[in-house]
């Protein structure tokens, strides 16, 4: 026969064990997850970033005329364009007083420069023509120069419209795609940082 004290303890134990199981909602024992088929938007067509043809900068012949080192002649220089053949040569022409004259006895083959050792004293127009297989092609852009007013040193002067402005920095670049490099002048010569209290902060940095 089970003692009364042990019987009471067993009864209490069974009650405590049964209450949690009966108190839990049976629906909470099973979890359901709804799985839907993802509806992704159509992916864009993959485009190969490599260009079939290299994009190149368009440049003209870039003919320039400056005083020669001895101060008695004019030195001409021009570009060799990327698309020109290896055997290209050049003829140099000068127009003065309505007459055009070829200055070189034979086409220039090894360099892209030439010195006019006997320039006219007044105004003259220079241009070059490429020669391929003994055939002259289209002439380059022309450059007009006056030997009397040319600067004796080998550089070009860039006049500023604002005579009171002082240039701080200068850069070159083709701004409009015409094949001619433009000069970009930064003014003034002092600090132009908008966060600074000194300098020109009116948006007139480049002109």
Q: Is the pTM of this model over 0.75?
A: no
* 162 and 140 together in one domain: no
Q: Which residues of the chain have pLDDT under 70?
A: 1-29, 31, 33, 47-49, 153-154, 191-207
Give per-residue pLDDT as tens, 54-74. Answer: 778 889 999 999 988 887 899
- Domain count within the chain: 2
Does a structural domain hold residue 5?
A: no
The reported pLDDT for the residue numbered 200 is 56
Give the C-alpha distances (Å, rounded to integers) separating 119 from 103, 106, 111, 144.
10, 18, 20, 12
* 124 and 197 together in one domain: no
Task: Report how far residue 123's alpha carbon sits from residue 153's, in angstroms, rounded to the nearest whole number.
Answer: 18
The reported pLDDT for the residue numbered 199 is 55
Does a structural domain hold residue 52?
A: no
* 94 and 119 together in one domain: yes
Domain hosting 168: range is 158-207
The reported pLDDT for the residue numbered 72 is 84
SS3 7: helix
């Amino acid at each position: 026969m089970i003692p009364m004290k042990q019987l009471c303890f067993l009864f209490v134990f069974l009650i405590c064990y049964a209450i949690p199981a009966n108190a839990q909602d049976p629906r909470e024992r099973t979890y359901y997850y709804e799985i839907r088929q993802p509806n992704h938007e159509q992916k864009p067509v993959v485009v190969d970033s490599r260009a079939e043809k290299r994009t190149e900068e368009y440049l003209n012949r870039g003919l320039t005329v400056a005083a020669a080192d001895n101060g008695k002649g004019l030195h001409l220089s021009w570009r060799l364009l990327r698309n020109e053949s290896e055997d290209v040569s050049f003829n140099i022409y000068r127009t003065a007083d309505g007459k055009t004259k070829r200055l070189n006895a034979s086409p220039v083959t090894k360099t892209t420069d030439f010195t006019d050792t006997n320039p006219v004293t007044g105004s003259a127009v220079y241009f070059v023509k490429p020669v391929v297989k003994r055939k002259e092609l289209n002439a380059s852009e022309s450059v007009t120069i006056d030997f009397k007013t040319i600067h004796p040193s080998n550089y070009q002067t860039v006049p500023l419209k604002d005579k009171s402005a002082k240039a701080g920095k200068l850069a070159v670049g083709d701004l409009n795609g015409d094949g001619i490099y433009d000069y970009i002048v930064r003014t003034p010569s002092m600090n132009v940082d908008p966060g600074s209290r000194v300098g020109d902060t009116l948006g007139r940095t480049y002109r």
